[in-house]
Amino acid sequence: MQEMHCQTPPISVYKTLMHTLHILDVPLYLIVIIALFKIKSNIFQTYKYYLIWHTIINVLTEFHSCFLMLPVVHLPYPLLRATGILAEFGFSGLFLFYVLSAFIIQTSFSIIEMFYFRYKASVFDYQSRNFTKFVKLFIYSFRVLTILFPGITFGTFFYSIERQEEYKKELAMIDPSIPEVTCYSSVLAAPFSDSVMISTMITWLACIICAFSVIPSTTIYLNSHLRSTKNMSPGVVRMQKMLLSSLIVQTFVHGFMLGIPNILFVYTIFFGAHLEVAAYAAFMCLTFHGFLSTIAMIMYTKPIHIAILETFQRFCSSLKNIIGCLKPQNQFH
């Protein structure tokens, strides 16, 4: 009977939305990546590879969440159960949760690296400035944490699996109404239960501190610098301001759509939760944050939407040529 519960699919509306929205937004990601590769601007030449990296991370995060993991909740407890493709092949819920967490950290890492690049590109004498030392401290710390997080989680994976089994059995005894709790595809959040969980939470918290230290401070510093600089032409200053504004909007989208799920998750750990609609909405925010961020990037980054328009024009022109070549053949036959 337990095995049947472990194979129980998610609610149909949630599953359909997760699959359909990802399939619909993948073409947008592809168009943006193609457009970025086509941009030849000297100012944009290196920065575009940061945007490509960031976009690829968004695609991978979505695909993992929508198809490979497809998590469902079992409220009021902080219990997730993977129902995606990898869960059907026997992957543990803990492993899939770790992968999702690593992707989220990569998303944050790519954002603060873009802020650091924008800082270096806008401030010619950045190496001699004291603010650079401040930013470097958190940038290098985040780089270490990006390596440390998978090192801790995957390096202690088998130990954590054993602990998970203990925690889930304890919960099953307390509340036998959730047979799915003992499934291998389920994962129970127990952040202060052992040294590995504590280390993971500290690493996660340190990543948040680094991000919140770099992003607002760099934004304020660059806005002040670009208003007063005399080392760049007005056109270059406008371009730098436009790229910074675009990055700020993208970051706001990420912060809002990732912040809500994290706050709800922490709330559930300490106080429990009963509103499943809110839980699934939070997962959809977490999954599709990259899609809205990419739309913001297109809207606020002029070189990108120009490149996309040019790509569409070439496509339409090629399509007309193909149709033009086929018409005489159809008339002949």
Dump pLDDT digits (tens) for 250-304.
888 888 888 888 777 777 777 777 788 888 988 899 899 999 999 988 888 888 8
Structural contact between residues 95 and 160, judged by C-beta atoms closer than 8 angstroms = no
Specify the pLDDT at position 16.
94
Is the predicted pLDDT of residue 330 greater than 60, yes or no?
A: no
Better-predicted residue by pLDDT, 131 or 77: 131
Is the predicted pLDDT of residue 87 greater than 60, yes or no?
A: yes
Is the predicted pLDDT of residue 60 greater than 50, yes or no?
A: yes
Structural contact between residues 153 and 98, judged by C-beta atoms closer than 8 angstroms = yes
Specify the pLDDT at position 129.
92
d(CA 80, CA 189): 8
Specify the pLDDT at position 65.
95
Residues contacting residue 226 through CB under 8 Å, at least 6 positions apart? 122, 237, 240, 241, 244
Average pLDDT of span 119-126: 88
Is the predicted pLDDT of residue 214 greater than 70, yes or no?
A: yes
d(CA 284, CA 257): 9
Is the predicted pLDDT of residue 130 greater than 90, yes or no?
A: yes
Range name among 24-33, 78-87, 184-193, 295-304 with the lowest pLDDT average: 184-193
Specify the pLDDT at position 223.
86
Residue with tokens 């991000």: 211
Average pLDDT of span 96-104: 94
Asked whether the whole model's pTM tops 0.85, one would answer yes
Q: What angle (nearest 5°) sits at the alpha carbon of residue 101, between those of residues 99 and 104? A: 115
Beta partners for residue 188, in sequence order: 79
d(CA 84, CA 68): 5
Q: How confident is the model at residue 3 (pLDDT cuts 50, 70, 90)?
A: very low
Specify the pLDDT at position 328.
57
Dump pLDDT digits (tens) for 215-231.
989 999 988 888 887 77
Supply the mean pLDDT for the chain.
Answer: 86
Which domains, ranges and CATH numbers included, belong to the chain?
A: 2-317 (1.20.1070.10)
Range name among 36-40, 110-114, 176-180, 266-270 with the lowest pLDDT average: 266-270
Specify the pLDDT at position 329.
53
d(CA 102, CA 116): 21
Q: How confident is the model at residue 305 (pLDDT cuts 50, 70, 90)?
A: confident
d(CA 6, CA 3): 5
Peptide bond into 76 cis (omega under 30): yes
The CB density around residue 118, as the number of other CB atoms within 10 Å, is 21
d(CA 63, CA 283): 13
- Please, what is the angle between helix 195-228 and helix 234-271, to 10°? 160
Specify the pLDDT at position 138.
95
Q: How confident is the model at residue 56 (pLDDT cuts 50, 70, 90)?
A: very high
